[in-house]
Amino acid sequence: MTALISILVLIFIFVAIWQMVKIFDLTQTGKSTENNQIANDNDNKVNGYLMIGFLIFIYAITIVCIAKYGDLPLLSNSASEHGPSVDRLMIISLLVIFFVQTVTQFLLHYFAFKYRGQKGRKALFFADNNKLEAIWTIIPVIVLAGLIIQGLFTWTSIMNVDEEADPMVVELYAQQFNWKARYAGADNALGKANVRLIDLDKANILGVDESDPNAQDDVIVTELHLPVGKPVLFKMRSQDVLHSAYMPHFRAQMNCVPGMITQFSFTPTKTTAEMREVPEIKDKVANINKIRTENSKELIANGEEALEPYEFDYLLLCNKICGTSHYNMQMKIIVETQEEFDAWMKEQKQFKNSLNL
């Protein structure tokens, strides 16, 4: 039935367009003998003005987007030590882009308006100018050189793991469709692991080598806790397909690749509790809860359960397509003080005690 209606609608649209074209053509008859499907002065004029209208539209949509969505969670309130340097680079890049965009779009659309064709006018024969071309080759070279240099410094400082800072080693383990984390324990050395050692009967779900002395005090959890101010070195593994460990608030991301161990390191700088008190985050949470309350009303009217109120938490998301439930592969991250972290850690089972023997 829907298919039939769709086809009918399509036919009606075609007929409507046909009628409109016919009417328009009839109003045009007798005006001119030349080919009326080629732009004439009037078309040039109308479209020239529309070009200016379109320029205003581009500016307007830019302003609306920046005003409404410009206070981006990914441009402020980073929660890691390297975060501000990324944000600074991002803002510089955005300013450069914004400036170039504003100027070039203006020139493009303004010229399209200003030099719209008129009968009898002749265009300027202007085919080449080495000086001009040199200018707009050199200016991008200088600007890009600046961006490249700053970018490379930032990148290198993020990716270089500072071994002297004695980072806490944590393994992030991905599988369809959830995350696990393995802490290295007091020795800060992860036990060897391979998927071939996985033994579901013994609850050895990560394939940790049971005979490895380093493995004995490892701790496997499903919620990631991190002490504030302490560098963490993540070692990523995946057991099945590619996943990507994306921790947007920490400006951190690395793929998890079956068959190899990847790594990423950062230092969290704000506890979850502190972050919840940041005014922008509070506003964002309040706004989200307002939306959720609205949506809940509808759900309740349909006899469904209301949505739970939202509370801010750091998250680890999967950001590499990994199958059916890719959209819901997440793990909560809690950043807390060292004392809170130690207390939590004490409650966790060590690997040697977690096996079903």
Partner 1 sequence: MSAHVEAHAHDDHGHHHKETFITKYIFSQDHKMIAKQYLITGLIMGIIGVVMSLMMRMQIAWPGEPNAFLQTFLGKWAPDGVMSADIYLALVTIHGTIMVFFVLTAGLSGTFSNLLIPLQIGARDMASGFLNMVSYWLFFVSCVIMVASFFVEAGPAAAGWTIYPPLSALPMAQGGSGLGMTLWLTSMAIFIASSALGSLNYVVTVLNLRTKGMSMTRLPLTIWTFFVTAIIGIVSFPVLLSAALLLIMDRSFGTSFFLSDIFIQGEVLHYQGGSPVLFEHLFWFLGHPEVYIVLLPALGITSEIIATNSRKPIFGYRAMIASVLAIAFLSTIVWGHHMFVSGMNPFLGSVFTFTTLLIAIPSAVKAFNYITTLWKGNLQLNPAMLFSIGLVSTFITGGLTGIILGDSALDINVHDTYFVVAHFHLVMGISALYGFFAGVYHWFPKMFGRMMNKNLGYVHFWITAVCAYGVFFPMHFIGMAGLPRRYYTNSAFPLFDDLSNVNVVITVFALVGGAFQIVFFYNFFSSIFYGKKAEQNPWKSNTLEWTTPVEHIHGNWPGAIPTVHRWAYDYSKPGHDDDFVPQDVPLKEGEEELQH
Site for partner 1 in 167-226 (CB under 8 A): 175-176, 194-196, 198, 200, 207
Residue 98: partners with Cβ closer than 8 Å, 6 or more residues away: 62
Min. distance of Cβ 174 from partner 1 in angstroms? 12
Min. distance of Cβ 117 from partner 1 in angstroms? 5
Min. distance of Cβ 289 from partner 1 in angstroms? 9
Task: Give the span between the Cα atoms of 180 and 239, in whole angstroms.
Answer: 11
Give the x-and-dash track for 90-129 against partner 1 (CB under 8 A): x--xx-xx--xx--xx-xxx-xx--xxxx--xxxxxxxxx
Check: CB of residue 91 under 8 Å from CB of residue 70: no
Q: Does 54 bind partner 1 (CB under 8 A)?
A: yes
* Nearer to partner 1 among residue 264 and residue 341 (C-beta): 264
Min. distance of Cβ 287 from partner 1 in angstroms? 5
Check: CB of residue 218 under 8 Å from CB of residue 184: yes
Q: Does 84 bind partner 1 (CB under 8 A)?
A: no
Residues 5-24 interacting with partner 1 (rule: CB under 8 A):
6, 10, 13-14, 17-18, 21, 24
Q: Does 86 bind partner 1 (CB under 8 A)?
A: yes
* Nearer to partner 1 among residue 136 and residue 301 (C-beta): 136
Among 95, 203, 260, 300, binds partner 1 (CB under 8 A): 260
* Strands laid side by side in the 224-227 sheet: 224-227, 330-336, 314-318, 243-247, 252-256
Task: Give the span between the Cα atoms of 41 and 116, in whole angstroms.
Answer: 8
Query: Pick from 167, 201, 171, 203: which is nearest to 184 by CA?
Result: 171
Tokens for 59, please give them.
Answer: 């500016």
**CA angle, corner 96, sides to 93 and 97, nearest 5?**
85
Specify the pairing of strand 224-227 against strand 330-336.
Answer: parallel
Q: Does 357 bind partner 1 (CB under 8 A)?
A: no
Q: Does 63 bind partner 1 (CB under 8 A)?
A: no
